[in-house]
Amino acid sequence: MNFASFDSDSFMLSPENDFYGNEYEASSFESEILTDDDENTDQYYENGDEDKVDISQDECWKVISSFFKKRGIVRQQLDSYDEFIQNGLQDIIEQNREVVLIHAEGIDNKGRRICVSTLEFDGLLFSRPTITESDGSVIRLYPQEARLRNLTYASPLFIKTRLGTAIACEDNPNFNAICDEREEFTPWQNILIGKGGYFIINGSEKVLIAQERLANNVIFVFKKQPPSPYAYLAEIRSSGEKGLFVRTFTLKLLSKSGDLDDSERYIHATIPFLKKDIPVKILFVALGVSNEQDILQLIGALSDDEFTEVVKPCLGEGFIIQTKRMALDYIGRRATSPGIPQEKRIALAKRILEKEFIPHLGETFEFEKQKAYFLGYMIRQLLLCSMGRRPLDDRDHFGKKRLDLAGALLSNLFNNLFKKMVKDMTILMKKMLAEKREINLEMIIKSQTITNGMRYSLGTGNWGDAKRAMQSKSGVAQVLNRFTYASTLSHLRRCNAPVSRGGKVTRPRYLHNTHWGYVCPAETPEGQACGLMKNLSLMAYVSVGSSNNLIIEHIHATGLLDSQININPDIHLATKVLMNGSWIGITHNDELLYNTLKELKKSGDFNHDISIVNDIRSKEIRIYSDPGRVCRPLFVVRNSRLKIKRSLKKSHNKKKNIFDWENLIYNGFIEYLDAEEEEFALICMTPEDLKDSRVGFAYESIGMEPPTRPHNWIERTKKPTAYTNRWTHCEIHPSMILGVTASLIPFPDHNQSPRNTYQAAMGKQAMGMYATNFQSRMDVVAHILYYPQKPLVTTKVMEYLKFRELPAGHNAIVAILCYEGYNQEDSIIMNQDSVDRGMFRSFIFRNYQENEKRKGVVSYDEIMKPTYSDTVGLRYGSAEKLDDDGVVSPGMPVTEGDILIGKTTTLTPEDAMLGQRGICQKYRNLSTTLRRSEAGFVDHVVITSDQDALKSAKVRVRNTRIPEMGDKFASRHGQKGTIGILYRQEDMPFTREGIIPDIIINPHAIPSRMTVGHLIECLLGKLVVLTGNEGDSTPFTDVTVDSISSKLKELGHNPYGNEVMYNGYTGKKLEARVFIGPTYYQRLKHMVHDKIHSRARGPLNILTRQPVEGRNRDGGLRFGEMERDCMISHGTALFLKERLFDVSDPFYMHVCDLCGLMALANISKGIYECRICKNSTRVSLVQIPYACKMLFQELMSMNISPRLYLET
């Protein structure tokens, strides 16, 4: 490979091109389009377009469109899963490839000698998703059928298994409970704009939430605060092969305090399985480096006096141990319990050093040398920090974070389950061999272990073994949110940091600088999970990982890497090359190596998601290819020009679509950067800024004052502080930093930041149309707006999120006005006539479901129409609407208490049912009734059977919800409110044109919340409605209030959106002018109908005889402690007694005056007596709460007798 030399000489010194000089060009790697483009200067620059923008905003959006066209919104989920299926699975199988059993030869039952010793797993085979019906037939399964029949959308997985010496191949069906829904055609209706990215487990859709963790194989150096005995800590979480296990190795620098001399600061190492920390010196010796000079050299302290001073004390520690054997014995002693022979101890120490000590460098003894070098490197990092020569590491840096997506999570799970299966199998094999039975593959391989394990974890979200549910991570798999389409998309891009929620640590919750472009700055929940639950930005890409070998080969091919490093003073002076945290060599020409690698990456020789970092300061080139790094695409800038620009000019005569994403990537116009690599990039905010910088730098370099920036777009963004020609990248568009729901906010760049966060949360509760096939779905609850409208004021991103196609809201005419006072404290006034005409009307669909069950031999839950004569516990008249099959028919109006699905269970002869049971009654009622306080029409009925041919019925009930007083609404700016009153239109204020607002919000909602975006949306909405366009409110663009105002003025309106309005009652002008215009409003799912509740009398708890709790049980409202306190302080004792006693659980009880215990009473006969006291004359009647009486009885049951001594 040849490289062109620096060609700076070929430039003439002129303002136009002098800053293009001094630039390296690796022309041999130039891609197709570039190679035929004449890069050579004069011709290129004579166009004189340096003062023009390289790429227009429209073209930027074309690039973004092609990104979404190619990758969609949920690509990370699919990529990760595909990687697991294609490589991950096979890797796991290969790791557990063989089971070898050492056993004595035996004779099998046929008298033959057998010699079974191995079981080998080989290739994998998948089939399409299928289901085995109860009659044994195997049917192709489609997602929609899986959803409706509560099946698992899964495909069988086969592993070729070889057994014994006979090497007889037997295909063994194994199982895999996973599949994603992609490119699948369903016999019913497919979700038209659905893109999958989730699993279907027992009919419910499950998302795997990405789990955030700290990167493996990265050294972190932290400072410890005084109470800790250590001043500094260097830590590495080293992962073994394929990242399936992690071992932490820690170096600790003792703090100066304590009984040690100030100069003596030892370094101790913590190695897994060692009970005590050991001095590093001993570790070096154990690794075969015993010479002190060598150690100093490894640390890089030899030529540096200050450094040597710092290292010296720790070399003194453990001075007695001089030989490797002694060192290993020392280590072994600390790993085992005493009394184990020395040889074994040493062997153990060796094994620990091989397998448990920084295993990512290698797990055999050959890597001893590398480990010693790495140890030296690590000590160097620790000491550099302690000397203040290197900054401490930031635990929250996003470049040091990894996301475990579906693939990684499943691979962990599968690995555990497969190991478990192999373990169980081994035990069984041993047993069979011991019993000298022939080994039957079908019998020993328990494929159900994997099937059930996967189903358990995906079904419950508890990641790991069912038996250890408490320790495992919970909430990894969640039921896919189907409230609004945006909420579904957002759910599929969520990631979670498993940090304890309770702790008061706030740092991991903060928005970090490095989150820019990777994590949405607005979309995070409030409260406990704030900042821990994150959402990916729109263009964030999560690396899937690729093999190191190819990259290492390429590095070697450059000839720039010295991998045969030896102990010499050089090692820390040259640049270290680290590949995924392992030190693979050094180079003396770091810039050339770095540029070469970059070119290789751009030219597509490597996977494009590899990150190459040239850390000049710490003299390291770090290359990462591991999965889970979050990357984002950026324009590549070369010579202060976008690389894409050069081909743009040429592409006019080419038919090829230059904006095709693949094309952009493979031509190196666009590059993925992760947060680590971004740290060493200089990124320009916009192509316009780049142009300004280019022009400015050109002027400055010839000593001229740069021209003042013309009045152009983005005046809002900061002017560059200095002009430079060192840009390496340029943002595609700054609005891509936002996530799914934040991208639906118009003008978010004008709002106070928490308002965007509130809206990001509320957007998920807005009702609209969550899926185009909602009529064939059976979601538990679903809301559909009658007439969803696409917003007048849109953002560009809505196109990719399909918000225009599946909107959630109405363009309401909103006036900001105090009118009659029914919109105080975040309530809103709504126009009754608009509501009459269908504004914000919605359907609510509620699904009820019932399955048949077989319990034992006799007992059977059956779906049938129960009759009064043979069913216990059936309320009269409730089953009338049922068809003969026991399910209501579609179209039937139903009200509360009506049975929707009749179900009974057989009664055994012993069941007396508390005496309720009649002679001929053989069933007990288990029917599903309509929820309390609800009514509606039966919309849809599905009757199917599950895998075991058990019947199941699903009934969907539909009802219309008309907006009423108390329903909740919100704009897209975190401005929520409930309806305070509905005014008829003649009562509403109106403009001279007769425009009547749909909603009146209170002006007090604006100043303290600073939701300026709300006002601009309204203003733009007004303009747009007058001109008949769609308004663009994408953040960080050139729309200004002035530009809107001037256009409104032209149209004969008040430029600031104000209008004179008239009082609807009197017709008189309102004194104040009113800000009025169309604003997009959302109806939120919280409606009074679902919350309104009151009770006078009602059901009581059987045990305590106190009113039950909860609205859906018609329960009482608790008169709690604080309310009690109030009554006490008011002195209203009688009222208090009424609340707590008369209205709760009053009880009459007879008490013996002599012993104070309960007495017998037969009121009708007038007999009262205490049998213990033989007293039938002195019995008193007391009123006490039933709960109190019960307490007394409970006390009596444990031999404590509470006595009531009564005063008369």
Partner 1 sequence: MEPYTGTINSGGAKPEIKIDELTSERVKFILTNTDLSMANALRRIMIAEVATIAIDMVEFELNTSVLADEFIAHRLGLIPLDSTEAEKIKYSRECSCQGACKECSVELNLHVKCTEEDTTKDVTSRDLVSNDPRVTPIQDGPKDPGILIAKLRKGQEIKVKCIAKKGVAKEHAKWSPCAAVAFEYDPFNKLRHAHYWIEEHEKKEWPASKNAEKDFPPGDDEVFDFTAKPNRFYFEVETIGSMKPEDIVMNAFKKLLEKISSVQMGLTTNDVNAINREPPREF
Query: For residue 851, what are the β-bridge partners?
Result: 952
Evaluate whether 614 touches 598 at the Cβ level (below 8 Å): no
Write the interaction track for partner 1 spanning residues 661-690; mark x where CB under 8 A is met and - where it is not.
------------------------------
Residue selected from 128, 344, 837, 1124 as contacting partner 1 according to rule CB under 8 A: 837
Please say if 826 is a catalytic residue.
yes
Phi, psi of 492 (to 5 degrees): -75, -10
1070 binds partner 1 (CB under 8 A): yes
Q: From the CB of 957, what's the least distance to partner 1, in Å?
A: 12
* Cα gap 924→871, rounded to integer Å: 5
339 binds partner 1 (CB under 8 A): no
Tokens of 944: 């199917």
832 binds partner 1 (CB under 8 A): yes
Residue 405: closest CA among 200, 245, 545: 545
Residue selected from 261, 305, 1071, 1207 as contacting partner 1 according to rule CB under 8 A: 1071
Query: For residue 561, what are the β-bridge partners?
Result: 587
Contacting partner 1 within 931-970 (CB under 8 A): 937, 939, 958, 960
By CB under 8 A, which span of 25-33, 408-416, 984-992, 1141-1149 interacts with partner 1?
A: 984-992
843 binds partner 1 (CB under 8 A): yes
By CB under 8 A, which span of 89-97, 103-111, 986-994, 1019-1027 interacts with partner 1?
A: 986-994
890 binds partner 1 (CB under 8 A): no
607 binds partner 1 (CB under 8 A): no
Residue selected from 106, 1055, 1146, 1156 as contacting partner 1 according to rule CB under 8 A: 1055
Residue selected from 188, 1065, 1135, 1148 as contacting partner 1 according to rule CB under 8 A: 1065
Q: Indicate which residue of 7, 91, 826, 870 is catalytic.
A: 826
Tokens of 1019: 């203003």
Evaluate whether 359 touches 240 at the Cβ level (below 8 Å): yes
865 binds partner 1 (CB under 8 A): no
Query: For residue 844, what are the β-bridge partners?
Result: 783, 959
992 binds partner 1 (CB under 8 A): yes
By CB under 8 A, which span of 15-23, 562-570, 985-993, 1158-1166 interacts with partner 1?
A: 985-993
841 binds partner 1 (CB under 8 A): yes
Q: From the CB of 838, what's the least distance to partner 1, in Å?
A: 6
Residue selected from 4, 192, 1060, 1133 as contacting partner 1 according to rule CB under 8 A: 1060
* Cα gap 519→531, rounded to integer Å: 10
* Cα gap 944→43, rounded to integer Å: 73
Nearer residue to partner 1 within complex by CB, 333 or 961: 961
DSSP 532-595: TEEEB-TT-EE-----HHHHHHHHHHHT-EE----SSTTTTTSEEEEETTEEEEEES-HHHHHH
* Cα gap 453→466, rounded to integer Å: 8
Phi, psi of 407 (to 5 degrees): -60, -50
838 binds partner 1 (CB under 8 A): yes
By CB under 8 A, which span of 690-698, 740-748, 834-842, 1080-1088 interacts with partner 1?
A: 834-842
In degrees, rounded to 5, the angle at the alpha carbon of residue 1124 between the alpha carbons of residues 1122 and 1129 is 95
984 binds partner 1 (CB under 8 A): yes
Q: From the CB of 996, what's the least distance to partner 1, in Å?
A: 8
Nearer residue to partner 1 within complex by CB, 617 or 1068: 1068
Q: Where are the alpha helices (DSSP H) in 995-1137?
A: 1012-1027, 1041-1050, 1121-1130, 1133-1137
Please give the torsion angle defined by the CA atoms of residues 755, 758, 759 and 761, in that order, rounded to the nearest 10 degrees.
160
By CB under 8 A, which span of 19-27, 613-621, 846-854, 1058-1066 interacts with partner 1?
A: 1058-1066
Q: Where are the alpha helices (DSSP H) in 387-462?
A: 406-434, 441-444, 447-460
Contacting partner 1 within 505-544 (CB under 8 A): none
**Which run of H or of E encompasses 491?**
helix 485-492
Q: From the CB of 991, what's the least distance to partner 1, in Å?
A: 8
How many beta carbons lie within 10 A of that of residue 341, not counting itself?
A: 8
Burial category of 561 from C-beta neighbours within 10 Å (exposed 0-12, middle 13-18, buried 19 and up): buried
Evaluate whether 922 touches 895 at the Cβ level (below 8 Å): no
1069 binds partner 1 (CB under 8 A): yes
990 binds partner 1 (CB under 8 A): yes
* C-alpha separations of 603 from 34, 600, 669, 893 in Å: 11, 5, 10, 66
Nearer residue to partner 1 within complex by CB, 715 or 986: 986
Residue 197: closest CA among 295, 89, 81, 111: 81
776 binds partner 1 (CB under 8 A): no
By CB under 8 A, which span of 243-251, 857-865, 1048-1056, 1174-1182 interacts with partner 1?
A: 1048-1056
Q: From the CB of 839, what's the least distance to partner 1, in Å?
A: 10
Residue selected from 95, 130, 452, 1054 as contacting partner 1 according to rule CB under 8 A: 1054
Nearer residue to partner 1 within complex by CB, 44 or 1062: 1062
786 binds partner 1 (CB under 8 A): yes
* Cα gap 986→462, rounded to integer Å: 58
Q: From the CB of 840, what's the least distance to partner 1, in Å?
A: 13
711 binds partner 1 (CB under 8 A): no
Residue selected from 407, 866, 1064, 1185 as contacting partner 1 according to rule CB under 8 A: 1064
Q: From the CB of 983, what's the least distance to partner 1, in Å?
A: 11
Contacts of 327 (CB under 8 A, 6+ apart): 282, 283, 285, 286, 321
Q: From the CB of 793, what's the least distance to partner 1, in Å?
A: 23
Residue selected from 322, 323, 775, 1112 as contacting partner 1 according to rule CB under 8 A: 775
651 binds partner 1 (CB under 8 A): no
Residue selected from 1073, 1095, 1105, 1139 as contacting partner 1 according to rule CB under 8 A: 1073
Contacting partner 1 within 235-274 (CB under 8 A): none
* Dihedral sign of CA atoms 707, 712, 716, 718 in order: negative
Tokens of 931: 């929820």
The 3-state secondary structure of 962-1021, one letter per residue: CCCCCCEEEECCCCEEEEEEEECHHHCCEECCCCCCCEEECHHHCCCCCEHHHHHHHHHH
Count the residues of the shown chain that bind partner 1, applying the rule CB under 8 A. 44
Instruction: List contacts with partner 1 (CB under 8 A).
Output: 775, 786, 832-834, 836-838, 841, 843, 891, 937, 939, 958, 960, 984-986, 990, 992-996, 1049, 1052-1056, 1058, 1060, 1062-1073
Active site (catalytic) residues: 826
